[in-house]
């Protein structure tokens, strides 16, 4: 069975640690790949640059995308993903602490599948991640890979 990867795009190491812990606490066993900026994220998804050698047979089940990223912004990443026919259908969940309506509107307009606000309360966050995982990894049917 092909492994399903979760790509977490997050520049803040603290946020990264907390998110990973939340995922672990919820027994989400998948491989989690962390990209620390937009460029790294795109490189990995398309298998180029620093991640040229990645196994393209690996299916990415979902991308957890933060918006505020250095180099290439979260929305830019989203846009690029949606423009490429290979990744047009890739599930992207925007995971951000921004409460700005504009960000939400932009994200959805550019084709994000979901928009989650990171709560300050960690317990709440863990619960949110649990639900996230349950939904996107178990319940949701990933789109077929277009050949």
Contact between 113 and another protein per CB under 8 A: no
CB of 96 to another protein, least distance (A): 8
CB of 80 to another protein, least distance (A): 22
CB of 48 to another protein, least distance (A): 30
- Whose Cβ is closer to another protein: residue 40's or residue 66's? 66
The residue range among 38-46, 80-88, 90-98, 139-147 that interacts with another protein, by the rule CB under 8 A, is 90-98
Contact between 80 and another protein per CB under 8 A: no
Nearest to 45 by CA among 95, 83, 96, 71: 83
| Nearby residues of 5 by Cβ (< 8 Å), 6 or more positions away | 30, 31, 32, 33, 58, 59, 60, 61
Exactly one of 98, 113, 114, 140 binds another protein (CB under 8 A); that residue is 98
Give the total of residues touching another protein (CB under 8 A).
Answer: 19
Contact between 3 and another protein per CB under 8 A: no
- Whose Cβ is closer to another protein: residue 1's or residue 120's? 120
What DSSP line would sit under 23-34, residue for residue?
A: HHHTT--SEEEE
Q: Which two tokens stand for residue 85?
A: 């026919």
Q: Which two tokens stand for residue 141?
A: 């049917």
Nearest to 4 by CA among 57, 72, 79, 78: 57
Measured CA to CA, the distance from residue 58 to residue 106 in angstroms comes to: 29
Residues that bind another protein (CB under 8 A): 12, 14-15, 17-18, 21, 68, 96-100, 118-123, 125
């Amino acid at each position: 069975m092909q492994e399903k990867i979760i790509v977490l795009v997050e520049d803040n190491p603290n946020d990264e640690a907390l998110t990973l812990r939340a995922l672990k606490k919820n027994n989400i066993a998948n491989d989690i790949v962390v990209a620390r900026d937009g460029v790294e994220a795109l490189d990995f998804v398309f298998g180029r640059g620093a991640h040229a050698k990645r196994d393209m047979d690996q299916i990415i089940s979902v991308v957890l995308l933060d918006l505020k990223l250095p180099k290439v912004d979260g929305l830019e990443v989203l846009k690029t993903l949606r423009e490429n026919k290979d990744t047009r259908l890739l599930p992207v969940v925007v995971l951000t602490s921004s409460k700005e309506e504009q960000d939400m509107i932009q994200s959805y307009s550019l084709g994000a599948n979901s928009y989650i606000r990171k709560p300050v309360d960690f317990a709440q966050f863990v619960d949110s991640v649990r639900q996230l995982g349950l939904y996107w990894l178990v319940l949701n049917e990933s789109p077929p890979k277009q050949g």
